[in-house]
């Protein structure tokens, strides 16, 4: 039986780290934290049951297995990038292209979208799922919402608010925070370790996900308490899908940054509408 392929994000992290021989440089290139890249590479090594890097105090060195794997991974990734660049979605007249993560579209934009479309009946919207910097480059979107630091998002990007981390659980899940399972979204600088330093509770999480959106979904179904971006939590809180598991919140080191194409008036209107909705 053919084995399932490892997640593309693991391969992307390995390829970037192998080219740069540095988890830090790879993280800067692909828009993740150093710890997230390191963890994804470690997951790939565990999956393959072979070390891919020799980890030195001043950097990385590829093992024989890593040297063999690099061209096998790098060539297909480049081919995928070329294929995405050549994809044609048809005429773009009256079409607004928005690039964002699935989490942002699902938890922030989608609940508010009927209000926008009621006032812009002639405008068509195309949503492209984008996480990596090269995802956004290939998308050539009119409006982008990137997760990370301002440096990664670009000088003209605006931080979307609110931007703190909150602990949420399903109303059907009873019990105090210290007695409930914790859900961790990896790939961010802040998390339950930050919470432990500022608020308390040093238990390790029971569940790990690679997106806030997935953490929210697990919490909605009663799996535990998710520590997620307050921006993404707005609809879940207002609709009663989730409730605070603790009154405290902690600072987020990264955030969601919005940028628009200056020569696309529709992008400016969508930006103004979204900012207004997020503050009401």
For 18-62, write each residue's pLDDT tens digit: 999 999 888 888 878 888 899 999 999 999 999 999 998 888 999
Alpha-carbon gap, residue 101 to 127, rounded angstroms: 9
CATH no., domain 95-159+256-278: 3.40.190.10
What pLDDT score does 93 carry? 64
pLDDT, residue 36, reads 87
Query: How far apart, in whole angstroms, are the C-alpha atoms of residue 216 and residue 85?
Result: 32
Q: What integer pLDDT is reported at residue 186 of this predicted model?
A: 83
Check residue 270 and give its pLDDT.
93
Q: What pLDDT, in 10s, does the model give residues 107-157?
A: 999 999 999 998 887 888 999 887 666 556 655 789 999 888 777 777 788
Report the candidate in 132, 39, 80, 98 with the shortest Cα–Cα distance to residue 271.
Answer: 98
For 202-261, the pLDDT digits (tens) are: 789 999 998 899 999 999 999 999 999 999 999 999 999 999 999 999 998 889 999 998
Q: What burial class does residue 262 get, using C-beta atoms within 10 Å of its C-beta: 0-12 exposed, 13-18 middle, 19+ buried?
A: exposed
What pLDDT is stored for residue 35 in this prediction?
87
In the chain, where the domains are located? 8-86, 95-159+256-278, 164-251
Kindly tell me if the per-residue pLDDT of 82 is higher than 70. no
Write down the pLDDT at residue 133: 60
Say what the pTM is. Answer: 0.67
Give residue 7's pLDDT. 87
In b/e form, how buried is each residue of 57-88, taking b as 16+ CB within 10 angstroms?
eeebebeeebeebbeebbeebeeeeeeeeeee
Close Cβ partners of 127 (under 8 Å, ≥ 6 residues apart): 98, 99, 100, 105, 109
Residues 165 and 229 sit within 8 Å (Cβ to Cβ): yes
**CATH architecture for the domain at 8-86:** Orthogonal Bundle (1.10)
Helical packing angle, 64-86 and 8-20, nearest 10°: 110
The reported pLDDT for the residue numbered 190 is 77
Structure tokens of 144? 């982008």
Q: Is the Cβ–Cβ distance between 64 and 20 less than 8 Å?
A: no
Please write the tens of the pLDDT for every residue from 268-280.
999 999 999 998 8
- Note whether 95-159+256-278 and 164-251 share their fold: yes
CATH architecture of 164-251: 3-Layer(aba) Sandwich (3.40)
User: Residues 176-215: pLDDT tens digits?
Assistant: 999 999 999 987 777 898 999 899 877 899 999 988 999 9
Q: Does 89 have pLDDT greater than 60? A: no
Band the pLDDT of 1: cuts 50, 70, 90. Answer: very low
């Amino acid at each position: 039986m053919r084995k399932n392929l490892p997640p593309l994000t693991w391969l992307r992290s390995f390829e970037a780290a192998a080219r740069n021989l540095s988890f830090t440089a790879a993280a800067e290139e692909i828009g993740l934290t150093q710890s997230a890249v390191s963890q994804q590479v470690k997951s790939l090594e565990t999956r393959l049951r072979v070390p891919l890097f020799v980890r030195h105090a001043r950097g990385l060195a590829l093992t024989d297995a890593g040297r063999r794997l690099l061209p096998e991974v790098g060539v297909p990734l480049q081919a995928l990038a070329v294929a995405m660049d050549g994809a044609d979605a048809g005429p773009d007249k009256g079409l607004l292209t928005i690039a964002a993560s699935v989490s942002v579209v699902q938890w922030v934009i989608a609940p508010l979208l009927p209000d926008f479309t009621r006032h812009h009946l002639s405008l068509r919207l195309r949503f492209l799922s984008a996480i990596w910097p090269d995802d956004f480059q290939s998308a050539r979107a009119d409006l982008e919402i990137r997760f990370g630091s301002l440096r990664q998002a670009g000088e003209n990007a605006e931080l979307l608010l609110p931007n703190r981390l909150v602990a949420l659980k399903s109303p059907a899940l009873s019990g105090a925070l210290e007695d409930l399972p914790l859900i961790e979204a990896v790939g961010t600088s802040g998390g339950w370790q930050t919470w432990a330093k500022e608020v308390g509770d040093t238990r390790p999480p029971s569940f790990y996900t690679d997106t806030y959106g997935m953490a929210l979904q697990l919490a909605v179904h009663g799996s535990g308490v998710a520590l997620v971006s307050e921006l993404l939590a707005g609809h879940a809180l207002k609709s009663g899908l989730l409730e605070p598991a603790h009154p405290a919140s902690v600072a987020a080191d990264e955030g969601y940054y919005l940028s628009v194409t200056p020569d696309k008036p529709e992008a400016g209107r969508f930006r103004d509408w979204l900012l207004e909705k997020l503050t009401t």
